[in-house]
Amino acid sequence: MDIKKIKKLVLLSYVHKKLNLIRVNKIARLLTRKDLKAYVKVLKSYEKENTVIINLPFMYTDKKIFDKMFRGKKIIYKEDPSLIAGVRIINNDIVYEHDLKNTLEDIATHIGLAYD
């Protein structure tokens, strides 16, 4: 089976932008071992492309800001107390990290380079 057909199967695995376990099981039973490996690989890739992970120092109640920024993507919120007044956003392979700790470290490094 070629990759185009496998990508179509991956798209058929979703109902209303959510992965449907029943459909995945039906498709998996019909595939050969080689095609199943390709199907799982493309499915993971598709899931990664359409998921955004947002780490916050505490669970923020107003999530409309992130919903507007990442329309059409599934957003997973995680609590990360190591972030100080900031946020870490992982969108596919791009990581955006903005927090007070990194800003203070950058300022200290800049001052250290200026006086050396």
In tens, the pLDDT along 32-58 reads: 999 999 999 999 999 999 999 998 888
Place of tokens 């190591």: 82
61 has pLDDT over 70: no
Q: What residue segments make up the domains of the chain, in order of their start?
A: 3-49, 51-114
- Per-residue pLDDT band for 80 (boundaries 50, 70, 90) equals confident
**β-pairing, 14-15 with 18-19?**
antiparallel
Which pTM value belongs to this model? Answer: 0.70
